[in-house]
Structure 1
Amino acid sequence: MSVVGLDFGTQNAVIAVARNRGVDVITNEVSNRATPSLVSFGVKSRSLGESAKTQEVSNLKNTVGSLTRLAGRSLKDPDVAIEQDYVSAKLVDINGQVGAEVNYLGKKEQFTATQLTAMFLTRARQTASGELKLPVNDMVIAVPAWYTDAQRRSILDAAEISGLKVLRLINETTATALGWGITKLDLPAPEEKPRRVAFVDIGHSNYTCSIVEFRKGELKVISTAYDRHFGGRNFDKAIVDHFAKEFKEKFKIDINENPKAKFRVVAACEKLKKVLSANAGAPINIESLMNDVDVRGFLKREELEELMKPLLERSTVPLEQALAEAKLKPEDIDSIELVGGCTRVPALKAAIQNFFGKQLSFTLNADEAIARGCAFSCAILSPVFRVRDFSIHDIVNYPIEFTWEKSPDIPDEDTNLTVFNRGNVMPSTKILTFYRKQPFDLEAKYAKPDMLPGKMNPWIGRFSVKGVKADAANDFMICKLKARLNLHGVLNVEQGYYVEDQEVEEPIPEPKEGEDGDAPKTRKVKKQVRKGDLPISSATASLEQSIKDQMAEKEIAMVMEDKLVADTEDKKNELESYIYELRGKIEEQYAEFANEDEKAKLREKLEQSEDWLYEDGEDATKAVYVAKIEEIRAVAGPIVQRYLDKVEEERQAVLKQQEEAAAKKRAEQEAAKQAEAEKKAAEEAAKKESQDAEMKDAPEDGKTEDPQ
């Protein structure tokens, strides 16, 4: 079982995997640790991630980004109108969901944001599988803390379409906090004052601050605040607008009229911003930007900070909100951890440091902390790994209420109840009790729609409770419903059942010393006893299973199409390489193995094949390329075979020489051993003979010679 975490960002995605020795961030097919969150469409196939980025400038209208900011939204959402500034493809409405209209396989196609997200998750899954050499089925995915129920369901649906099982959707700052806390061995004991850490994450498009309390073996998020339109791309836009104005005055060109020119300026401004993070000034130079005009400019860091001023003025708002909700002051925070690419901007760091009045901490990898936290979360939830016990208590960001129709039998009944308040612990379960004589419906929605991102529909779901009826005495059925906000932050009414009041006997606690010991041992009490289940049917923002199945089939078909196109391209490249390889070898390696007639035939065949490849063979099928390779092999085969026979003959000769040398060496070793043995035997014999002679010369014991 794989243990994989995914930081699914607006601009890039980072994949981390837990192994026995720790957590590693894995690289993609071009050895980058972050993969662009892009999906692109072409006349032959899709391009995902790196390949989509490579051709983005030449295929702008068919490339879709900002996937996490489109998921679960409608085209009418004002936030989606903002995204159109950052997405080159045309955004359209598809059955109430936002999607993109693109040219794919030579015709116009429309894909929902959920489908586009599924496509990218397919690429993430393939990247992880390729690295691990294992199938990847389970994953923990990080999402922005401000995501609503509909947005979370959209990511879960996309994962299912791509063949992934999501073990947990985790808020980005919560994942960062987990990655920070799980490795700490010096956290306070449960009964001690907790360590409070502010995690500030400023990425490409989001600014989030979470205040988290740590004790040994647990983290508890106590507040989260965010600015959904504050990030690296907003800084980039300020720089782009500055240079757009400058280029219009200086060079008389308007980049806003040319999408490709504007894209190139955005890319150059992003690089310039990074240079200014470490330098006082930086140039910008773009050749032939548009109308064959070369442009150049220069920006100082002070000028950049002036451009950023409206943004920097907002930089402390999420910090103030997070502290206010946590009922804390800046001095109550023990540590401030910064992550996200945008936290490298000096002016932003200075503003945050001034707000807290203490040194900032950068112990986590700014770009990879979220992915690492996701991998740790996956390891905790996986039966494969043994991880230090660490519980995660996140919070509800938007209050959720249930409403229902008034029962005709209870005229003064309240018809709504806020079940999950903002700041409640998540995951969480609440039991709702209803007195009814007939089936009924209830709806869940967000209690304060003005808190939601954009103008999202506050509706979460409708739940119909079946099987409800009055009892024999025409009394109410007592219905219990289990409402659960699960690990993903998704709400469901998971279970329904009915109970009856019954008298049951329960034991009375033992009497204390001095009390009457003859008191009864049991007493009768009224208790609610569960009698049976109530079926519940749900209607939520999740896609119907049949639709998900259709989308999954389409995704599989597109994956197969991508594979076929890739294989075809490989065969085309193989044919081209084979032509060049043989052309060189026939004059060198193979020269002595072919007569002039054979050489002429092979050269002619290679020339014909090359002409075909660059004229008619540009868009041939895989089978045609394979056939062309075989045609060349048929002509070159006898020549190549003679060469291989000669190589084999030489190899065998070398082997024979090696064997003869080895045999000779063995014979010499045996002869040496024999000579050594004979020498040793001769020495032993001489030694024995010497000892025998000594014994013969010695007088016998007890006898003396006659003196006469």
Structure 2
Amino acid sequence: MSVVGFDVGNESCVVAVARKTGINAVLNDEPKCEIPAVVCFGKKQRFLGTASMMNQKYTISQIKRFIGRKFVDAELQKDIESLPFSVTEGPGGYPLIHAQYLGENRTFTPTQLLGMVLSDLKIIAEKNLNAAVEDCCIAIPVYFTDLQRRVVIDAAAIAGLNPLHLIHDTTATALAYGIYKTDLPVNEPMNVAFVDVGHASMQVCVTAFKKGQLMILAHSYDQCLGGKDFDEVLFQHFAAKFKDEYKIDVYQNARARLRLRAACEKLKKVLSENSETSLNIECLMDEKDVIGFINRDEFEQICSPILERVRKPLEKALSEAGLTAQDIHSVEVVGSGSRVPMIIKILTEFFGKEPRRTMNASRCVAEGSALQCAILSPTFKVQDFQVIESFPFSIVLEWTMAAPDGTQTGAADMRQTTVVFYPGNPMPSLKALTFYRSGTFTIDLYYIDGSGPLNLSTYTIGPFESATGKNIKVKVKVHLNLHGIVSVESAMLQLIDGGNMKVPVVKEPAKEGIKMKTDDVHPSSTETDVNTQDAKTDGLGAENGVPESGDKTSHMEMDKVGFK
């Protein structure tokens, strides 16, 4: 059984494997540890993990930004503007990427492209282990929606991989940090904040460590704040400067845009270590050489709108964890974007202590993922270390109240909601809800993130029919699995003789454009039971939200395989 961890980033990927000697990040054929997250289509073959400046039109990058997002998504449209390849709207409103491959014009879905990237990472792992690789753990951003998580599972299947766990990036980092520490407290937890400023996003995780245990207290994020945003600010600054001084407009030339963006990325890295620097590009456009100067103060000034957003995820994470900055023992920083000195200054001011860089910023996520894979694998013996993961969003169930005869009224104002899983809910979890119905009914699951409610799926419970024509008890179980994917697992009828009968559960296509009634949805991390029943009341329909005595919510504890 393979033990492999994959960190699939927006710009690059890292593979880590478990051997008898421990967990190690591996090199590709170049040899490099950080593998470009790109797919390049040539005239006669496809290149994976190799960026090409000569064929940018058919070198597909930023794949992670596409998966599970609609073509009309405002942030996706903003990303598409800076990309050299063609993207159009495809079936269902999702993006299609165009490329010429083997002499033909082809279109690819983001799922297919991610599958290609994962297949390349799988080959790298197999070469290093000299064995077939199937089981793995894949790191994903904490802000990935249910759909995006499902896309990763589908892409892994295309690559012939079986993800044991889609682990959050910051959780993998925290695991790689804590599992080797020998000074963790036994009683009082040690609170550590992890701040990951990557190429395209910022993620914050507040954790509590005890000996042999990692508990995730809170997650927060800004999925549009990363290193590329600083690059884009520099690009816009110099594009305007060169238009004024050299009378060239790089927005009119795709190759000039690519060269200037690449130069600005290098410039940002130089400014991280130096107070001032220059930018020189030969024959940028119209056979004109260009030169520009900038110092760190000017750079921070033009980046101030971005830097002002850094504090918000920090404040949100502490608030949801119920802690103050003084409660944080230490702050660990990872990610390429965190090298901007002003970010470290903001973190120092916020937490009242200087952040530390005790971890390898490029490898820690992959190594943490491989560690989690080893914990879940029966073939490796890992020291006792429990990971208590939490889900960052609310999952809400909506249904139509029952009429006196137990049927659904169908009236919009008779729709009711309850929060099944609150932010901070442990993963995985299984919760039971009880309805009273005389026949087939439907329920909707919604996913609530920062942008509002999003319909996940509609489930039809039935067909079934009450023998007496009266309402009978139907117990529905909703499952939040280890990957953070939600589904209705089963439904059972409670018969008159005390027995149970399984009821069919059919998943229907997601409903577009449904507005959920959210007036009564008040997320609270202290809620644990979700019990809902419909009872007849004055012949007006149903009275909802009354817990039924003896009905309990069950929580599945994370498997601890291979600890001994």
TM bracket, shorter-chain basis: 0.7 to 0.9
Q: Partner of 2:491 in structure 1? A: 496
Tell me which residue corresponds to 2:40: 40
2-structure distance, mates of 1:416, 1:501: 28
CA distances 1:430-462 after superposition (whole Å, capped 9, x unpaired): 01112222222211112x46x23xx8x711112
**Structure 2 letter corresponding to 1:436:** R
Alignment of 1:440-455 (within 5 A): 440-446=441-447, 448=448, 451-452=450-451
CA shift for structure 1 position 349: 0.6
- 1:107 CA displacement: 2.2
What residue is the counterpart of 1:384 in the other structure?
A: 379
Q: In terms of Rg, which structure is larger?
A: 1
After superposition, the C-alpha distances for 1:353-388 in whole angstroms (9 at most, x for unaligned) are: 111111211111111111111011111111111112
Does the alignment pair 1:98 with 2:98?
no
- Aligned-residue offset at 1:81: 0.6
- Quote the Cα distance in structure 1 between the aligned partners of 2:113 and 2:499: 45
1:535 matched to 2:504? The reply is yes
Q: What amino acid is aligned across from residue 10 of structure 2 in structure 1?
A: T
What is the identity, as a one-letter code, of the residue corresponding to 1:92? T
Aligned partner of 1:584 in structure 2 is none
Higher RCO, 1 vs 2 (CA within 8 Å, ≥6 residues apart): 2
1:336 counterpart = 2:315: no
Q: Give the deviation of 1:540 after TM superposition.
A: 6.0
Deviation, 1:43, is 2.4
Contact 1:469 1:477 in 2 (8 A): no
CA distance in 2 between partners of 1:144 and 1:186 (Å): 29
* Whole-angstrom distance in 1 between the partners of 2:444 and 2:350: 42
Q: CA deviation at 1:391?
A: 2.1
Letter in structure 2 aligned against 1:19 = R
Q: CA deviation at 1:206?
A: 0.5
Aligned pair 1:71/2:67, yes or no? yes
Residues 75-95 of structure 1 show CA distances to partners (whole Å, capped at 9, x for unaligned) of 111121122034321222221
Alignment correspondent of 1:22:
22
| CA shift in 2, pair 1:530/1:201, >3 Å | farther
CA deviations on 1:609-654 (whole Å, 9 max, x unpaired) are: xxxxxxxxxxxxxxxxxxxxxxxxxxxxxxxxxxxxxxxxxxxxxx
Q: Would you say the 8 A contact 2:134–2:161 is kept in 1?
A: yes
- In structure 2, do the counterparts of structure 1 residues 540 and 19 end up closer, same or farther at CA, with 3 Å as the change threshold? farther
**The residue matched to 1:84 in structure 2 has which SS?**
helix
Matched residues, number? 503
Q: Which of residues 166, 169, 176 in structure 2 aligns to 1:169? A: 166
Q: How does 1:286-305 map to 2 (within 5 A)?
A: 286-305=281-300
Overall identity of the aligned pairs, in %: 39
Tell me, in whole angstroms, the C-alpha distance in 2 between the residues paired with 1:468 and 1:184: 55
Q: Which consecutive unaligned segments of at least 5 residues does structure 1 have?
A: 503-528, 542-708
CA distance in 1, matches of 2:60, 2:33: 21
Match of 1:600 in 2: none
The residue number in structure 1 matching 2:124 is 127
Matched-pair contact (CA < 8 Å) for 2:461–2:503:
yes
After TM superposition, what 4+ stretches of structure 1 lie above 3 angstroms from structure 2? 410-415, 473-477
CA distance in 1, matches of 2:207, 2:82: 33
**TM-superposed deviation, 1:301:** 1.9
* Residues in 2 aligned to 1:141 and 1:67: alpha-carbon distance in whole angstroms: 15
What is the one-letter code of the residue matched to 1:65? S
Q: Are positions 1:116 and 2:110 aligned together?
A: no
Secondary structure class of the residue paired with 2:489? strand
Q: Residues 357-506 of structure 1 correspond to what in structure 2 (within 5 A)?
A: 357-408=352-403, 409-410=405-406, 415-446=416-447, 448=448, 451-452=450-451, 458-471=454-467, 473-500=468-495
1:15–1:124 CA contact under 8 A, matched in 2: yes
Give the Cα–Cα distance (whole angstroms) in 1 for the partners of residues 138 and 260 of structure 2.
Answer: 32
Contact 1:66 1:86 in 2 (8 A): no
Distance 1:248 1:474, change over 3 A: closer
Quote the Cα distance in structure 1 between the aligned partners of 2:70 and 2:425.
28
Q: Structure 2: how far apart are the matches of 1:188 and 1:468?
A: 54
2:136 aligned residue: 139
Corresponding letter in the other structure for 1:177: A
Deviations 1:248-275 (A, max 9, x none): 2232222111111111111111112112
AA at the equivalent of 2:89: D
Q: Give the letter for the 1:274 counterpart.
A: K
How far apart are 1:414 and its partner, in Å?
6.6
Partner of residue 206, structure 1: 201
Equivalent-residue separation in structure 2 for 1:46 and 1:5 (angstroms): 24
The corresponding residue for 1:9 is 9
Quick check: 287-296 or 380-389, which moved more?
A: 287-296
Aligned match of 2:154 in 150, 153, 157? 157
The 3-state SS of whatever aligns with 1:352 is helix
Please list the CA deviations of residues 651-689 of structure 1 after superposition, one character each: whole Å capped at 9, or x if unmatched.
xxxxxxxxxxxxxxxxxxxxxxxxxxxxxxxxxxxxxxx
2:31 is matched by which residue type in structure 1?
S
The verdict on how the C-alpha distance between 1:10 and 1:540 changes in structure 2, with shifts beyond 3 A counting, is farther
- The question of whether the paired residues in 1 share the 8 Å contact of 2:347 and 2:354 is answered with no
What is the DSSP-based 3-state SS (H/G/I as helix, E as strand, rest coil) of the residue aligned with 1:247?
Answer: helix
CA contact (8 A) 2:495 2:501 kept: no
The residue aligned with 2:81 is: 85
Q: Give SS of 2:439's match.
A: coil
Query: Cα 1:283–1:62, aligned 2, differ >3 Å: closer, same or farther?
Result: same
Q: Per-residue CA shift, 1:592-621, capped at 9, x if unaligned? A: xxxxxxxxxxxxxxxxxxxxxxxxxxxxxx
User: Deviation of residue 213 (structure 1)?
Assistant: 1.0
The corresponding residue for 1:578 is none
Please say if residues 211 and 322 of structure 1, whose CA atoms lie closer than 8 Å, have aligned partners that are also in contact: yes
Aligned AA for 1:48? L
**1:327 and 2:360 aligned:** no
Answer yes or no: is 1:243 the counterpart of 2:235. Answer: no
* SS across alignment from 1:468: strand
Question: For residues 205 and 153 of structure 1, what CA distance do their matches in structure 2 show?
Answer: 21
In the superposition, the TM-score normalised over structure 1's length comes to 0.69
Match of 1:261 among 256, 260, 272: 256
> Aligned pair in 2 of structure 1 residues 84, 196: CA closer, same or farther (>3 Å)?
same
Q: What does the per-residue CA deviation read over 1:151-187, in whole Å, with 9 as the maximum and x for residues that have no partner?
A: 1111111111121111111111111111111112222
Unaligned runs of 5+ in 2: 511-564
Q: Which has the higher helix share?
A: 1
Residue pairs, 1:519-668, within 5 angstroms: 529-539=498-508
For the residue of structure 2 that corresponds to 1:102, the secondary structure is: strand
C-alpha contact (below 8 Å) 1:404/1:415 kept by paired residues? yes
Q: Give 1:482 shift.
A: 1.5
CA displacement 1:115-138 (0-9 Å, x = unmatched): 111111111111111221111111
Question: Counterparts of 1:414 and 1:120 in 2: how far apart (Å)?
Answer: 43
Q: Check conservation: 1:436, 1:468, Cα contact below 8 A.
A: no
- Counting strand residues as a fraction of each chain, which structure ranks higher? 2
Instruction: Please give the secondary structure, in 2, of the residue aligned with 1:370.
Output: helix
CA 1:467 to 1:391, structure 2 compared with 1: closer, same or farther past 3 Å?
farther
Q: What is the identity, as a one-letter code, of the residue corresponding to 2:166? A: L
Measured against aligned partners, the alpha-carbon deviations of 1:553-600 in whole angstroms (never above 9, x if no partner) come to xxxxxxxxxxxxxxxxxxxxxxxxxxxxxxxxxxxxxxxxxxxxxxxx
Q: Within 2, Cα distance between the matches of 1:486 and 1:318?
A: 26
Q: Tell me if the contact between 1:497 and 1:530 (Cα under 8 Å) persists in the aligned partners.
A: no
Partner Cα separation in structure 2 for residue 470 and residue 325 of structure 1 = 45
CA distance in 1, matches of 2:196, 2:11: 14
Report the alpha carbon displacement of residue 530 of structure 1 after superposing the two structures with TM: 4.8
SS in 1 for 2:81: coil
Write the letter of the residue equivalent to 2:60: V
| 1:437-491 Cα deviation digits (max 9, x unpaired) | 2222211112x46x23xx8x711112222242213x4443322221111110000
Q: Which secondary structure does the structure 1 equivalent of 2:478 belong to?
A: strand
Counterpart-to-counterpart distance in 1, 2:81 and 2:178: 38
CA distance in 1: counterparts of 2:505 and 2:384, whole angstroms: 35
Give the direction of change, closer, same or farther, for the CA distance of 1:35–1:480 in structure 2 (3 Å limit): same
1:323 positional shift: 1.1
Q: Quick check: 1:348 aligned with 2:348?
A: no
| Cα distance change, pair 155–230 in 1 and its aligned pair in 2 (3 A) | same
